[in-house]
Structure 1
């Protein structure tokens, strides 16, 4: 149903218009009548019509003046001007106000019906467009919310590839990442409902105050807040203040242990490092609920913590990469924990947390889930937990060795089948589902040579066989994956010490 308001100072004119509309246009309902411009303005405010039939010549405020006032507030209202005067000036001024049409009195029934039907069609089209835009806006909002919730996951797990994707989709976030701070919020409880409630609380607090992204990853909540037009010292103060406020808000509502790491960053390319460093602050510093590396800390304590943390991190990185010596070092460190209950720099829970994070980052698999389900239990029997950790890591080393063998065998199989194509290290790495960097190191360690040397030697061995079969040098070149015979000849000579022609001559002897 479409709502229509008539504004005309002649009662007979109003009745005639109503009669035509009620008889011929059932989809239009006349919702009111005004006898002058002032009433028209007031009734538009009160009744919100879709269409306004507006006479130009009325006492007091005339139709043109009323249209100007109404148009300032109601951009989508369809105004049809009625006039007994065929004055060009009136028509020109009315159309400059965005009037839909200009009809001369007495209005012919057919013309009025035709005009109103066109108006209805246009209103319906605009409604559909508004609905589609609203639906699109809602869909974009949903996409944006999902994207933000997974934002830290994309940054940490997809690496540079993920960052490039984010750069391509940065418009949806409406952020520049010029200057920002990150809060990494670690929560003692691993209860999903509790985490969800706290996420909602953090979301409500920051979204109403700041240009921010609220994201979840590995049972932690991350807040990225973009700041504008303030210096870095002010950002430090503001970020620490916000961390304090959300901390007090959460502990006032939930009876759980909460720790918050605070870190400032610049540029999207540095975002991954900033997030990881915010995590490190939570792990490395004890006896503080809000930790930053720029505010409210004893400098000597911080130096001691950082040095010890670097040592621990070095050991753990060695373990993640399969170094047995690092496993022995960790064993000795855990022995120290069992002896000294007052060991303050780092405890078993933090070691397991770092191990879990880095192993997942490297291998895509979670370890120590049972141990981390309740951190309080770790304090009860450190020696027992130490034994579980070492047993789990020994299994991890066996798994790495098995995986390594499987990865290399699958890679070799792919290379043997495709050596005659334009394959690259990245192609093989993708086939065996590991990063190119990791595959390169692994391949060289296991095969004793790098990927390109292995591929080249394989191609040259196949070239020898084909030359022995009597194939031409040009044909052999194409057959083993080289489009340029001259380049093939240079590679062949580098590997064998002789040119393909010399090799063929030797074969004929």
Structure 2
């Protein structure tokens, strides 16, 4: 049954409205009444009725003011009907914006009142029916859980985006904070054993996605909290029960974002070996992480002195050794390592010389499994040569300092209503000059740069559950509609849709 709130300062008219609706054949539950705008707001916060009937003129808050406040505090869509004694066209635009569904001119007959409320009730019933249809659809989705889990595994293994994976996890009702991958080589479980295993892992407080690739059993362990050493000990007990330690096992690194699960899978493949139960620990995982990820840092440290000394032979020798080291990795893993290495060298050179190099200026060529032995070293030499040329050119320019200062100012003030004039004033140059510099060295307009900082912060706030209107105000947008438009342009979906992806 639907609940109704009536706000009318004239007691006789208020009681009459209550009586008319109670005596009608409409499917109505509780009817609450208020004598002014403040009481109406208090009653709404307490009971959250479905329909709110408001007199246009009331003490404390007018009908439209009351509607505006209720709309802002409500967690659901509210249906408003406005009571008025005069022509409503003067405030119709504001009323429409607030979602007012009908106007009743005083004095209204009982038939007019019942007809107006009935129209709103019909719409609410229709929405409720669609809700139940959706619920039934979700039940069918639950029956397709196995297919969805397999689809999610394939999405991770094909390195799909965070949003794609999150959509599937939402359908599976999984809220994930972090996770890791386990690969067992040369084993295939019967369907009944698969279900038993995933249920047992679920009893440990973890989600489990199970799939197969290249005669390998793949398990993605996911948690809404943090996977701990104790969790892995419990998993090891299960694996011993299923005799998994008789096969080569790879334990991937723990990742705190969905796109990282693919990298955990790659690490697990690289680690595949016959291991003892006692070796199945997070410490072992961290050793693999250091081996596969921190190695690029060591190669960067080797490379930087040779670049600074302009020792071409030393540079070629280091790149040759690095390419030889990477050959044992899968192509996708090599591309990740090379990108990390090149970006690391780039950032180190920027810091050393106090310059800014747009990453777009350094081409990082990718390889595949068939050509990695031939093109990897060439690609490395090419990328390092591009970095050296960029550094050489920028060292002859004095503009890099201004660009860095401009970017720092934008980063520190993007949450305010800053303009290009503000940046120019801060740097003591003309707006045209700094705009030209940003376009030339960063390849983006001032507005694009500001919006990038704002959207990055918005995504973080929305992931944490903040409301879109609050986020818009916090990051410097004067209009929530312009924020929504800009966010969708940059991310591909609306702020509300993005936030809902991370709400369980």
**TM-score bucket (shorter structure):** 0.3 to 0.5
Q: TM-score, normalised by structure 1?
A: 0.42
User: What is the TM-score when the length of structure 2 is the normalising length?
Assistant: 0.42
